[in-house]
Amino acid sequence: MNGFDRQNKKGYLLGVDTGGTFTDFVLYRAGDMRIHKVLSTPQAPEQAILQGIDELGVGTSDLIIVHGSTVATNAALEGKGVRTLYIGNRGLQDILTIGRQARSELYNLQPHARAAPVAANDCLQTGGRLDSQGKLVEPLSDEEIDTLKAEVARRNPEAVAINLLFSYLDDRFEKKIEAAIPEGIFCSRSSSVLPASGEYERGIATWLNSWVGPLVEGYIERLRARLGGARISVMQSSGEAIAADQAARQAVRMLLSGPAGGLVGAGYVAAVSGRSQLLTLDMGGTSTDVALIDGSPRLTREGHIGPWPVAVPMVDMHTIGAGGGSLAWVDAGGMLQVGPESAGADPGPACYARGGTKVTVTDANLILGRLRSSAFLGGRMQLDMQAAEKAVGQLAQRLGLSLHRAAEGVIRVANEHMARALRVISVERGVDPRSYTLLSFGGAGGLHVCALANALGMRSALVPLNAGVLSALGMLATRPGRQLVHARLGLLQGLSDSELRQAFSRLAQGGVADLVEEGIAGDRIEAEYALDLRYLGQSYTLTVPWSSLERVEIDFHERHEIRYGHRMTAPVELVNLRVALRGPQTTIALNGTAGSEPAEACEHLTVWGVDRPVPRYERAQLAVGQALAGPALITEMASTTWLEPGWRCTADSAGNLLLEKMSSS
C-alpha cells in the first residue's frame, strides 16, 4: 500500500507542473502555501524538479508529490517513442496504417505522405480471432504462440502492442500472447488499455501506450530513486491522479497530464469566487490551452495527440502554439507571424539573456512596458531590456516599423491566434462566450486577458491568485481516480436496471481495488455511472449519466436534439458502460491578499500607448475588496496582470482578481 493520505497535516503536499519553459511548484501544509519556479530541463525533466525541491528546502521523507508530467506528451509529439511491435489478427496487421482513410487536406490531390505509426516489418499477424458476438472464428494454436515468441526474440523490440478483434468481449487470446512476451519487454494489450469498440482507435491507444510507456516508466523510476521516501502520484489526462507505480502502465492516459491540472485548478479557485461558467486561457511559455468549464471540465474521447486519435478520456481543450516564448518572424510575403515555434527554456526569449536572439511575445511585452524587468519572478530573474530591444529592433527594421509598433504587432498577432482558439471552443460549439467568465492563468495569461475578453465581447474575467503556477496548484486540488470503460452492445429496451447495476459493479471492482491499494478508504470512493448511447444504425455515440433506464433514454433524446437539432424514433442502442471513480479531494485553503488597508501604488511606469504614468501594485498588498481602475499593472512572483483602460478589478477574499468591463467603455 502506498498510503496516499493527502489530508495528513504532518507532511508537505507538493504540486509540480513541468512546462516547456518553466517547472512550477506549489508547496502546501496546514494552510501555509509557498510557490516557486525554475527553468525546465527538457532533456531530463527530473533535474528541474530536484532543483526546485532543493531550493524549497524540504525533506523528501515528509513529501507527498502530485506531478503533471510532459514525458509522454513530448515523446508522442516529437515522434521519439521506443521501437514497438504490433500484433494483430491474420490479415489485419496493417489496421494502424490504413486507419479511417481520413485525409487532413480533403481537396489536396497530392497530400504529404505520413509515416505509418508502426513499420510494416514490425507488424505481426496471428490467429485468435472472434466475431462481433464473441464467438470463435479462428483459434490461437500453441504453434502460433511459439512463432510469435521467435519473431519477438529475433526483432528484439523495447515494447509490444497486442490488438485482436473484439478482444473486449473475450480477452483470453490477448492474455495468452501477453504471457508469451519475454520479461523486460513492455507489453500492452487492447483489452486492458481500452476495452471498447473501434479496432483502429483501440489499436492506436494500445500502440501509444507501448510506444511511450518505457520512457514514462524509466522517468518515474529515476524520479522515485532520486526522491527517496517521497510518495508520488501523477496527473492523468482526465483530471484524476494515479499512483506513480501504476502510471507507467497507463502512459496513454498521461498525454494531457499538465493541462488537466490547470483545468482542475481553474475550477477549484473559480468556485471559491462563485464562478462556475468559465472559458479558460492557460498561456505558458510554449503554448496556450483553452477550454470551457460548465461546473466541471468537460471530457472528450475524440481527442488527438499530433495526428493520432486518443480515445481514452481526456479533458476537452484546444491547444495552439502561442505562448510567452513563441517566436515572431516575417514570412516570404512580408507578413508578421507569431509561433508555433518557441524559444523554450533554452535559450528562451532574448530578454532572458541566455543566448536567445529571436523576438518572442515576452520580449514584446517588455518593450511595451507591460513587464517590469526588475519584478520578474519576484526579482529573482532580471530581464535584459537591451537584448529585447536589439531583437525587436531587427524585426522592426524588416517590417519598416518603429520599435514599439513592431512590438505591438507581435502582441496583436498573438492575441488574434488566442482569440480564434477561444472561439473554436465556444462559438463554434454553439456557446455564447459573453455569458461566461474568462479565467486566465499561466505565466503570461494576465498580460493578455483584457484584450482577449474585448475580442470576444466578454465583460468579466478572473485572474486567480498565483495564476502563474495554477496548474501546479491544480495537482493538489485533484482527486485520485480512474475512468473505466467496457463495451456492451445491445438495445437499451432489452436491458433491466438490475442487470446494468450488476454490470457497473463488476466494471468498478478493479478500479476500486487500485484506489484502495493507493491508500484510499473504500467508503470514501465515489462512483458515477454513464452509458454511451446512439440510435440503432448510427456510428457516433453520446455519453449520458445513468440513474435508471427510463431517465437515461429521456435524457439521450434531449441531448441528441440539442447536439444535432433533431430526435428520432429509432431504437436506442447501448455501446459502452462507463464508470468514473474518485477519491476525496484535498481541501486547499487559498490565502487571500495580505493587505488590511487599501494598497498604494509602489511606483508609476511608462507603458507604450498610454498617455499618462501607469501605477504598479504588488498583488500581495491589495486589501480584500480593494478596487482598481485601469490602466494598471499588478505584479506577483509568477505573473503580471495588465489591467487595460476601460477595465476595473477587485480583489476578493480568496485573493482572486475579479475583472469587469466598465459600462461606459
Q: State the Cα–Cα distance between residues 339 and 71, nearest whole angstrom.
A: 22
pLDDT of residue 51: 93
Angle between helix 45-56 and 199-226 (nearest 10) = 40
In a domain, 52, yes or no: no
In a domain, 548, yes or no: yes
For the stretch 386-394, contacts whose Cβ atoms lie closer than 8 Å and that sit 24 or more positions apart, written own/partner, are: 387/350, 387/351, 387/353, 387/356, 388/349, 388/350, 388/351, 388/363, 390/350, 390/357, 391/350, 391/356, 391/357, 391/358, 391/359, 391/363, 392/359, 392/363, 392/364, 392/367, 394/359
In a domain, 350, yes or no: no
Q: Of the given ranges (155-164, 302-311, 554-563), which has the lowest mean pLDDT?
A: 302-311
Helix (H/G/I), strand (E/B), else coil: 426: coil
- At residue 169 the predicted structure's pLDDT band, cuts being 50, 70 and 90, is very high
Helix, strand and coil percent figures for the chain, each rounded to 5: 35, 25, 35
b/e burial code for range 444-461 (CB count within 10 A of at least 16 → b): bbbbbbbbbbbbbebbbb
C-alpha closest to that of 368 among 337, 402, 342: 402
In a domain, 653, yes or no: no
pLDDT of residue 378: 62
pLDDT exceeds 80 at position 8: no
Highest averaged pLDDT of the listed ranges 35-39, 111-115, 339-343, 364-368: 364-368
In a domain, 37, yes or no: no
Look up cell 522515485; give the residue. Answer: 224
More confident residue, 112 or 182: 182
pLDDT over 90 percentage in the chain: 63
pLDDT exceeds 70 at position 4: no
Alpha-carbon torsion (311, 289, 467, 624), positive or negative:
negative
pLDDT of residue 377: 66
Q: State the Cα–Cα distance between residues 340 and 238, nearest whole angstrom.
A: 25
Of 186, 216, 246, the residue that ends a domain is: 216
pLDDT of residue 10: 56
pLDDT exceeds 70 at position 333: yes
CA–CA–CA angle 499, 310, 122 (5° rounding): 110
pLDDT in tens, 287-307: 888 999 988 888 888 888 878
pLDDT of residue 665: 47
More confident residue, 248 or 431: 431
More confident residue, 225 or 114: 225
Q: State the Cα–Cα distance between residues 48 and 23, nearest whole angstrom.
A: 7
pLDDT in tens, 25-53: 999 988 888 889 888 888 888 899 999 99
E strand spans, 165-223: 186-189
pLDDT in tens, 445-462: 999 999 999 999 999 999
pLDDT of residue 115: 84
b/e burial code for range 127-164 (CB count within 10 A of at least 16 → b): bbbbeeeeeeebebeeebbeebeeebeeeebbbbbbbb
C-alpha closest to that of 338 among 362, 355, 317: 362
Residue 187's CATH number: 3.40.50
Sheet containing 123-126: which strands, arranged edge to edge? Answer: 123-126, 84-89, 159-162, 186-189
Mean pLDDT to the nearest integer, 597-607: 90
Helix (H/G/I), strand (E/B), else coil: 409: helix
pLDDT exceeds 50 at position 308: yes
Of 216, 236, 251, the residue that ends a domain is: 216
pLDDT exceeds 80 at position 591: no
pLDDT exceeds 80 at position 216: yes
Helix ranges (DSSP H) in 137-198: 142-155, 172-180, 190-193
pLDDT exceeds 90 at position 397: yes
Average pLDDT, the chain: 90
The domain of 532 spans: 479-582
pLDDT of residue 32: 86
Q: Of the given ranges (141-150, 277-286, 543-552), which has the lowest mean pLDDT?
A: 277-286
pLDDT of residue 2: 38
pLDDT exceeds 60 at position 9: no
pLDDT in tens, 569-586: 999 999 999 999 999 988
pLDDT of residue 290: 93
pLDDT exceeds 80 at position 261: yes
pLDDT exceeds 80 at position 638: no
Q: State the Cα–Cα distance between residues 98 and 107, nearest whole angstrom.
A: 19
pLDDT of residue 629: 94
In a domain, 153, yes or no: yes
In a domain, 142, yes or no: yes
Mean pLDDT to the nearest integer, 54-67: 87
Of 532, 553, 582, the residue that ends a domain is: 582
Q: State the Cα–Cα distance between residues 165 and 145, nearest whole angstrom.
A: 17
pLDDT in tens, 468-485: 889 999 999 999 999 999
- At residue 593 the predicted structure's pLDDT band, cuts being 50, 70 and 90, is low
In a domain, 193, yes or no: yes
| Burial of residue 289 (number of CB atoms within 10 Å: 0-12, 13-18, 19+) | buried
Would you say 264 and 478 are in contact if contact means Cβ atoms under 8 Å apart? Answer: yes
CA distances from 127 to 172, 273, 602 (A): 12, 58, 74
Domain count, the chain: 2
CA distances from 240 to 118, 225, 261 (A): 30, 24, 9
